[in-house]
Structure 1
Amino acid sequence: MPYTKEEGGRLNNFAIEPEVYRAKAPTQAEKRNYVILAVLAVLLVGGLITVAVFASSAGAG
């Protein structure tokens, strides 16, 4: 763990803060990828719900 020295020679063992930076806006390709992933996630969840409905109704009949 890195230490910093204060005036008078005392050691300070607090964490060193990382450099702060501004986030970049997503590019068109990244936005397209986000939309594709969102559609796939909705299809996956919808499919899981459909399977659960059919599986629960199959056991009741």
Structure 2
Amino acid sequence: MYTTINEEGILNNYASEPQIYYAEYPNQEQQNTYKIQGAIATLFVTALILVALGVS
């Protein structure tokens, strides 16, 4: 932690910054997993909407 003191005696604490790294593009297996998760989420939301319409 980095601390400074100004002329009035007030302390300022600064958090240490983490290392910066660049994200890597997902490989084909990860892309397929995301597609499956998206399809399941779409089906789930569609089912919720249909149930809500059916109940009302």
Structure 2: which 5+ runs fail to align? 5-10
Q: Give the % identical residues.
A: 44
- Normalised by the size of structure 1, how large is the TM-score? 0.69
Structure with greater proportional helix content: 1
**Rg: which structure is higher?**
1
Runs of 4+ in 1 over 2 A off after TM superposition: 2-5
Instruction: Give the letter for the 1:54 counterpart.
Output: G
CA RMSD of aligned residues (A): 1.9
Structure 1: which 5+ runs fail to align? 6-10, 57-61
Residue 50 of structure 1 deviates from its aligned partner by 0.8
5 Å-filtered alignment, 1:1-61, equals 2-3=1-2, 13-56=13-56
Count of residues in Structure 1 that have an aligned counterpart in Structure 2: 50
Provide the C-alpha distance between the structure 2 equivalents of 1:31 and 1:49, rounded to a whole number of angstroms: 27
Structure with greater proportional strand content: 2
Residue 13 of structure 1 deviates from its aligned partner by 2.7
